[in-house]
């Protein structure tokens, strides 16, 4: 009996929510009548004893207790008869038809970008079908654990996003495991039920199709072009022969970036929507590595990130893809508006999460984050006490402006430093004329900027973490398409010295996402640089291509020095 109790405890641990601990609500036993039917076979009695021990042994109001309760009620309504095992008239035990179909799914898990070995473990081997009651009870519960693990991986992915980066602030989507087990047990087509758990987004489906065809076409795939220094006309680099081959130029072993190759690169950049400058930087290299050069591990990693996304992205939504440096407004899955954006630097990364735009702020104040006060404003004031005045800033103590000349700025790193810095509305305000708020713990948002020059670059990771929008008023107009009382004209009429808040009637979902592969409507795969290294870290975590330290895409040239979120 101890063996089955151990297996049941292990099962309940496996059924606990994956990723950050999110307790599932216990069923409301007052709302519906729960019938616990008595076991009628030795195997059923063994299952009941194990589940009962796990249920009553778990601490109340914990995820383990809630899961034990659900599983106990589920099996209790079935006289504690097994879900995955069946017994014929001669007493021979075998896997049920539903279990057989699920085993087939486990065997084909690679088609989902998953690993069969995560589910086809020794504990669910058919060799155990001839065991005693305790062995069969162990097999039964182990199969439930493997099935729930598979379901969780389909729905939420294999990897906890926070294990890749603390800035992947993604909440796992709950699964009612007991209800799912019950549906699977009574279904003639468990594959169809489990298929509803995976993302339904067209891009996920396209990536899944690309994975299915990868092995057939892999022989013709060129080797990816490696990272290296930014190449300008006249430079030399060992990657030039491979770049010429990718551009379908006449084969040449020359490592000189000559005029013919520059022309071909510019034509390629124009076709990819990149800045047409003939400079081969990270964005151009990433684009060259798209299409037929796409790696299998990149496909799987991007499928994993789609599993992290909310099931419902919203019928009308804002979608920002950080590696692409671009924003879209989409309605029913179709783009209505798009624009370039600037995102956080590799040191001040834009976090990945989903929220809702609740407010538009015209003529915004900029409440300067404490990190920028310590790292940039304090040193500037120490060198020039008139710095805050010259930048239209107020130094505040308990909300009241005070003179920066009266403050000991050497104490700015102290936790007791009681002052805040706020930049007043105006032409030089770091947030420009409008910001779009979705209050969050990261204190990031979308906003205008007076620094427009960076939008012309292909690589646009230069902010302190917020997302700067190239044409914010055109974006605002498209964003307010469903708000009859708000328009670009009404917002521009508010321009002036005073901050004004505008609250749309309907909150708008916004997703700050991180996809290094995007699939066009025609099925073409585009590749974007791994600006923060999240992709390579995820590939390593998935066990596809372990690396010690993932390379982070970096721009050789730096942006002009500026104070901006």
Beta strand segments in 41-191, E: 85-87, 93-95
Instruction: Please tell me the distance from the alpha carbon of residue 417 to that of residue 412, in angstroms, as a whole number.
Output: 6
Q: Residue 93 pairs with which residues in a beta bridge? A: 87
Angstrom distance (rounded) from CA 539 to CA 534? 9
Marked catalytic residue, from 153, 464, 466, 534: 466
Tell me whether residue 447 is one of the annotated catalytic residues: yes
Structure tokens given for 383: 């060198």
Please give the torsion angle defined by the CA atoms of residues 81, 82, 83 and 89, in that order, rounded to the nearest 10 degrees.
-90
Which residues lie below 8 Å from residue 78, measured CB to CB, with a gap of 6+? 37
Q: Which two tokens stand for residue 68?
A: 């034990």
What phi, psi does 67 have (nearest 5°)? Answer: -70, -40
Measured between alpha carbons, how far is 126 from 400 in angstroms, rounded to an integer?
74
From 153, 155, 447, 464, active-site residue: 447
Tell the burial category of 337 from Cβ atoms under 10 Å away from its Cβ (0-12, 13-18, 19+).
middle
Give the integer Cα–Cα distance in Å for 165 and 155. Answer: 20
List the structure tokens of 405. Answer: 């000349």
Instruction: Give the residue from 326, 321, 320 showing the smallest Cα distance to 339.
Output: 326
Closest CA relative to residue 155, chosen from 201, 102, 109, 199: 199
Would you call 359 a catalytic residue per the annotation?
no
86 φ, ψ (degrees, to nearest 5): -135, 155
CA–CA gap between residue 43 and residue 50 (Å, rounded): 11
Alpha-helical (H) ranges within 186-281 are 190-195, 202-217, 240-246, 259-272
- Catalytic residues, by residue number, are 447, 466
């Amino acid at each position: 009996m101890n063996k089955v109790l151990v297996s049941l405890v292990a099962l309940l641990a496996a059924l606990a929510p994956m990723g950050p601990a999110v307790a599932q609500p216990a069923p409301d036993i007052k709302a519906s009548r729960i019938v616990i039917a008595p076991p009628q076979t030795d195997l059923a009695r063994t299952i009941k004893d194990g589940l009962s021990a796990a249920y009553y042994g778990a601490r109340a109001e914990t995820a383990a207790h809630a899961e034990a309760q659900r599983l106990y009620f589920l099996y209790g309504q079935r006289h504690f008869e097994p879900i995955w095992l069946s017994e014929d008239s001669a007493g021979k035990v075998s896997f049920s038809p539903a279990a057989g179909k699920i085993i087939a799914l486990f065997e084909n898990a690679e088609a989902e970008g998953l690993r069969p070995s995560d589910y086809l473990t020794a504990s669910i081997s058919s060799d155990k079908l001839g065991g005693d009651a305790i062995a069969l009870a162990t097999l039964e519960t182990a199969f439930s654990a493997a099935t729930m693990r598979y379901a969780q991986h389909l729905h939420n992915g294999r990897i906890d996003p926070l294990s890749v980066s603390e800035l992947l602030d993604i909440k796992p989507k709950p699964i009612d495991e007991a209800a799912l087990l019950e549906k699977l047990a009574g279904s003639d087509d468990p594959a169809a039920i489990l298929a509803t758990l995976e993302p339904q987004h067209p891009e996920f489906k396209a990536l899944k199709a690309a994975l299915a065809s990868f092995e057939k076409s892999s022989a013709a795939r060129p080797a990816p072009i490696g990272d290296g220094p930014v190449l300008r006309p006249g430079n030399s680099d060992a990657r030039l022969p491979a770049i010429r081959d990718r551009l379908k130029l006449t084969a040449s072993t020359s490592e000189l970036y000559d005029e013919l190759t520059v022309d071909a690169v510019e034509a390629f950049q124009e076709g990819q929507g990149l800045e047409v400058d003939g400079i081969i930087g990270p964005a151009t290299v990433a684009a060259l590595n798209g299409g037929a050069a796409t790696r299998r591990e990149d496909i799987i990693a991007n499928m994993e990130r789609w599993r992290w996304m909310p099931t419902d992205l919203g019928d009308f939504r804002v979608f920002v893809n950080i590696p692409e440096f671009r924003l879209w407004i989409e309605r029913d899955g179709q783009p209505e508006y798009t624009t370039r954006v600037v995102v956080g630097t590799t040191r001040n990364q834009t976090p990945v999460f989903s929220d809702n735009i609740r407010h538009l702020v015209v003529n915004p104040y900029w409440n300067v984050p404490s990190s920028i006060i310590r790292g940039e404003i304090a040193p500037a004031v120490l060198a020039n006490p008139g710095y805050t005045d010259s930048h239209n800033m107020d130094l505040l103590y308990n909300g009241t402006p005070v003179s920066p000349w009266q403050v000991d700025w050497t104490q700015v790193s102290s936790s007791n430093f009681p002052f805040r810095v706020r930049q007043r509305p105006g032409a030089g305000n770091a947030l420009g004329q409008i910001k779009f708020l979705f209050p969050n713990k990261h204190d990031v948002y979308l906003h205008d900027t007076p620094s427009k020059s960076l939008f012309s670059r292909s690589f646009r990771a230069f902010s302190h973490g917020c997302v700067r929008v190239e044409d914010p008023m055109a974006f605002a107009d498209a964003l307010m398409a469903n708000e009859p009382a708000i328009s670009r004209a009404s917002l521009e009429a508010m321009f002036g010295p005073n901050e004004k808040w505008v609250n749309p009637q309907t909150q708008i979902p916004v997703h700050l996402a991180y996809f290094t592969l995007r699939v066009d409507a025609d099925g073409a795969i585009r590749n974007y640089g791994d600006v923060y290294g999240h992709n390579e870290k995820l590939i390593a975590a998935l066990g596809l291509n372990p690396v010690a330290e993932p390379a982070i895409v970096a721009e050789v040239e730096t942006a002009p020095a500026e104070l901006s979120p």
